[in-house]
Structure 1
Amino acid sequence: MSTRTVPPEIVEANVDAIVGPTHHFGGLGIGNLASQEHRGSRSSPKRAALEGLRKAAWVASCGVPQFVFLPPHRPRWQFLARLGFQGKPAEQLAAALENSPEILSTVFSSSFMWAANCGTFSPATDCSDGKHHFTPANLISSWHRACEAEERSHSMRQLLPADSRFTIHDPLPAIMPLRDEGAANHMRLSDCSGRIGFNIFVFGVGATTGSTRFMPRQTHDASTAISRLHGLDPGNTFFLQQHPQAIDAGVFHNDVIATSHEGLLIHHETAFLEGEAELVRLERRFEELTGVPLRRVVVSGEALSLADAVDSYFFNSQILTVPSADGHQRLVLLCPQQCADNQSASKLVSQLIADPTCPIDDVKFISLQQSMANGGGPACLRIRLPVERGECDRWALRLDAALEELLAGVIERLYPDSLEMRDLLDIDCLQHLERIPGEMAAAALRANFVRP
């Protein structure tokens, strides 16, 4: 249980991406079992967006700084043209579907909703130049996501005031040895103030053998490049290889098999390949600099099998520092509803809450059925930005009751209740979907939630 009364000096601002109106089940995620299982199913963009918005609003209601990214425009007409599809819009889309359903799915993809993949963020306190650093992920493992880097660079700049001390890098070069999937493969630990940071990069392929079933999405070279770009202290930076057995079981990102918050690290026993020496170095360094031991929880395969970890998305739960009325800082675990429905995951959650040596105080289960059916849990939908307390007060698009009401109104009024791939060929449906992101952005601008 957590007993801390002093709030951290560095707070984790959360940024969630609003699900787009073209959310569908295209089955394009490499190694993503849920995505492949639901390929071609009828989706509900309205339900998906409302579920994500309600999750973010609950986090905001806990006193956590919560922001949103607005959805970019779809479809990607320029992408279609570059692939040689010409003619009127309806002709381009029909030809794309006839040639390859994957191409049609790509140009309408709403995968930007999983903000954890938008990039890697390092707070100023961790960086040698005293500035925050953000590197958009190139996401080149999946062709439906590779164009998101430019969109999310724009979203990040829209969020921040012009005089903020942020360095926004270009994504890493778009070559396979440097494939990068962002914060989903990065964890940060810290002391209770948040000022002493420890960065863990997890890669799927390096010098040793990778997965035999699915292509690993993160490389060692990409992870080391980001650590250099951000000016991270090599003594406080750690690199772990994801276990091939985990990738083969459907663990396509580290945040499906491990999680961290402040001085707590929770991971499955099969999360990392030959990682014990690096983890011991982490534990020693953590205690050396903070004066307290790292709390490392290793979940055995007996307690939670790899299959149940992927089914429940337990490790994709969010861990939040929540101020309580009595002045204490509580740690709350925000789990997908699947953790309550999965017997092993439910038992594990109960054990963690009851364990007096575990700092987690409470649990909240939340329904994210549409995102989960595409392989994205609570942590997938957000990126964490650790910054000085009060520093994010001038950022745009902070989620409060007024912005929640505005966004929910647009979603309820304009988003489709259901959608499948062939609906995207209907010209009336297409024109309707195309105008929604612009209307949402214009509404937010009129209400002064974004800058002109």
Structure 2
Amino acid sequence: MKHFEVNFDGLVGPTHNYAGLSFGNVASLANAKSSSSPRDAALQGLAKMKALHDMGMQQGVLAPQERPNIYALRQIGFTGTDAEVLAKAAQQAPAIFQAVCSASSMWTANAATVSPSADTANGKVHFTPANLTNKFHRSLEPVTSGRILKAMFSNERYFQHHRHLPDNEHFGDEGAANHTRLCQDYGLAGVEVFVYGRHAFDSSKPAPTKYPARQTYEASEAIARLHGLSEDNTVFMQQNPDVIDQGVFHNDVIAVGNRNTLFYHQEAFANTEAKFAEIQTKFGDDPVHFIEVKSAEVSVQDAVNTYLFNTQLINLPSGEMVIIAPTECQENERVASYLAELVTRDTPIRQVHYFDVKQSMRNGGGPACLRLRVALNDEELAAANQHCLMNDALYGKLTDWVKRHYRDTLAVDDLRDPALLEESRTALDELTQILRLGSVYEFQR
């Protein structure tokens, strides 16, 4: 039986914009109010998906959410036709209005936490959508994320879906952005590493003071219970509170793991030595490669600005491990020099491939934010929705779809245009037919 790690990248939605909604995300705030290009953003994302497919990787597509979210505006008291609701909200509550227009679901690392069948008690692949309670604009996502995931992985023989955790900051869950899995092979039982920012029920424990810790220990524990994981294959690590206060809002901004390798910054974790020893003990006799980037080599600020760690760490079909990095890493002299030297060392990482995802980067998300990793065996892969798996034909359909439906430029003020809502619904309705998702959006139900 063959085993794969499939990357499901989020399609950028038609309302991709720079409203600067994410406090604690330095890039998001720095580019607030700039004009965006939804078309370029979507095409950049598709180009990365196609490139990884062409490298021989199993690559999938995850649909965006419906935006503007008219239903959220109606829930908080705005009334009238859709156009009237948009106009009233934009005038009376502009910050809320911008939040319900966010295309943040493009960062599918936050869509869910996934545990492969090799790790779970019942031998199924488990999915739990993230509740994303820390940011209002992202807290609107989990119900639709759950529907989309169920439409992609519907066979109950192989897949089990859970409801997102309680909508409360005590169980703040940001999905796979704070979760990584280490293993010898994707088909073998691994060690699932959950990284949290704070304890919700124990204020005496360390926590950041400037920016919020979005993932709680209690949420991570709950996901492990839901997925039927055992104490033998889980490790709970705390993110360094000081590094959160430097703009590292998710663990995948400061560390990335793949198979037997964890690539991380010196300042990433609290209690690093003890936790790494625990990981190694649970991993077994074969060594885990802990590749530390020291602060003297790359500062936290450079790591955040270039998203050195918000890169994809993947194994090509040849077995070679490579980094998929944004071009910002190539453009920063210190980071580029570090990566050039890294691939000459005696580590599993042998190459770096650079990709232009600037439209996403300006809003605070790099290559790792754009993908949800799902480890599957060949039977599970065959049971998944094949219309969501990248190939030449799908790439052609989706690039044509984007060019027909997406605006070339979008300013924040354009979000109030009722025509944008209709354009988005028309596009998403066609997309569900291309991907064979059924009625996953509220306007279709």
| Shorter-chain TM band | over 0.9
Q: Name 1:341's counterpart in structure 2.
A: 331
Amino acid in the other structure paired with 1:337 = T
Identity of aligned residues (%): 38
Deviation at 1:444, TM superposition (A): 4.1
Deviation at 1:390, TM superposition (A): 4.8
Contact preservation (8 Å) 1:9, 1:195? no
The 3-state SS of whatever aligns with 1:266 is strand
Aligned counterparts of 2:315 and 2:66: Cα–Cα separation in 1: 34
Contact preservation (8 Å) 2:311, 2:366? yes
Amino acid in the other structure paired with 2:407 = P
- Say if 2:315 is the partner of 1:321: yes
Q: 1:350 aligns with which of 340, 344, 348?
A: 340
Amino acid in the other structure paired with 2:382 = D
Q: 2:235 aligns with which of 228, 234, 238?
A: 238
The 3-state SS of whatever aligns with 1:124 is coil
Deviation at 1:409, TM superposition (A): 0.1
The 3-state SS of whatever aligns with 1:211 is coil
Contact preservation (8 Å) 1:194, 1:262? no
Q: Name 2:297's counterpart in structure 1.
A: 303
Amino acid in the other structure paired with 1:334 = I
Q: Name 2:403's counterpart in structure 1.
A: 412
Amino acid in the other structure paired with 2:266 = E
Aligned counterparts of 1:440 and 1:349: Cα–Cα separation in 2: 38
The 3-state SS of whatever aligns with 1:180 is coil
Contact preservation (8 Å) 2:86, 2:418? no
Contact preservation (8 Å) 2:155, 2:383? no
Counterparts of residues 34-183 of structure 1 (less than 5 Å)? 34-183=27-176
The 3-state SS of whatever aligns with 2:301 is helix
Q: Name 2:15's counterpart in structure 1.
A: 22
- Say if 2:389 is the partner of 1:398: yes
The 3-state SS of whatever aligns with 2:138 is coil
Q: TM-score, normalised by structure 2?
A: 0.93
What is the alpha-carbon root mean square deviation over aligned residues? 1.6
Deviation at 1:130, TM superposition (A): 1.4
Q: Name 1:449's counterpart in structure 2.
A: none
Q: Name 1:365's counterpart in structure 2.
A: 354
Aligned counterparts of 1:140 and 1:74: Cα–Cα separation in 2: 18
Amino acid in the other structure paired with 1:262 = R
Q: TM-score, normalised by structure 1?
A: 0.92
Q: Name 1:375's counterpart in structure 2.
A: 364
Deviation at 1:147, TM superposition (A): 2.0
Residues 149, 198 of structure 1: alpha-carbon distance in 2 compared, 3 angstrom cutoff? same
Contact preservation (8 Å) 1:27, 1:37? yes
Deviation at 1:91, TM superposition (A): 2.5
Deviation at 1:161, TM superposition (A): 4.2
Q: Name 1:435's counterpart in structure 2.
A: 426
Deviation at 1:445, TM superposition (A): 4.3
Aligned counterparts of 1:196 and 1:91: Cα–Cα separation in 2: 54
Deviation at 1:163, TM superposition (A): 4.2
The 3-state SS of whatever aligns with 1:413 is helix
Contact preservation (8 Å) 2:5, 2:186? no
Superimposed CA distance per residue, residues 136-177 of structure 1 (whole angstroms, 9 cap, x where no aligned partner)? 101111110112111111111111243441110111111111
Q: Name 1:274's counterpart in structure 2.
A: 271
Contact preservation (8 Å) 1:10, 1:387? yes
Deviation at 1:283, TM superposition (A): 1.9
The 3-state SS of whatever aligns with 1:91 is helix
Residues 193, 252 of structure 1: alpha-carbon distance in 2 compared, 3 angstrom cutoff? closer
Superimposed CA distance per residue, residues 53-110 of structure 1 (whole angstroms, 9 cap, x where no aligned partner)? 1111111112211111122322211110111111232332222122332211122111
Amino acid in the other structure paired with 1:392 = L
Q: Name 2:443's counterpart in structure 1.
A: none
Contact preservation (8 Å) 2:155, 2:384? no
Superimposed CA distance per residue, residues 400-445 of structure 1 (whole angstroms, 9 cap, x where no aligned partner)? 0100000000111220000012112223344323321112223444
Aligned counterparts of 2:329 and 2:32: Cα–Cα separation in 1: 23
Contact preservation (8 Å) 2:186, 2:375? no
Q: Name 1:3's counterpart in structure 2.
A: none
Residues 272, 417 of structure 1: alpha-carbon distance in 2 compared, 3 angstrom cutoff? same
Q: 1:331 aligns with which of 321, 324, 343?
A: 321
Aligned counterparts of 1:213 and 1:225: Cα–Cα separation in 2: 26
Amino acid in the other structure paired with 1:314 = L
In the comparison of the two structures, how many residue pairs are matched?
A: 431
Query: Structure 1: where are the runs of 5+ without partners?
Result: 1-7, 447-452
Counterparts of residues 221-300 of structure 1 (less than 5 Å)? 221-286=218-283, 289=284, 291-300=285-294
Residues 161, 178 of structure 1: alpha-carbon distance in 2 compared, 3 angstrom cutoff? closer
The 3-state SS of whatever aligns with 1:385 is strand
The 3-state SS of whatever aligns with 2:88 is helix
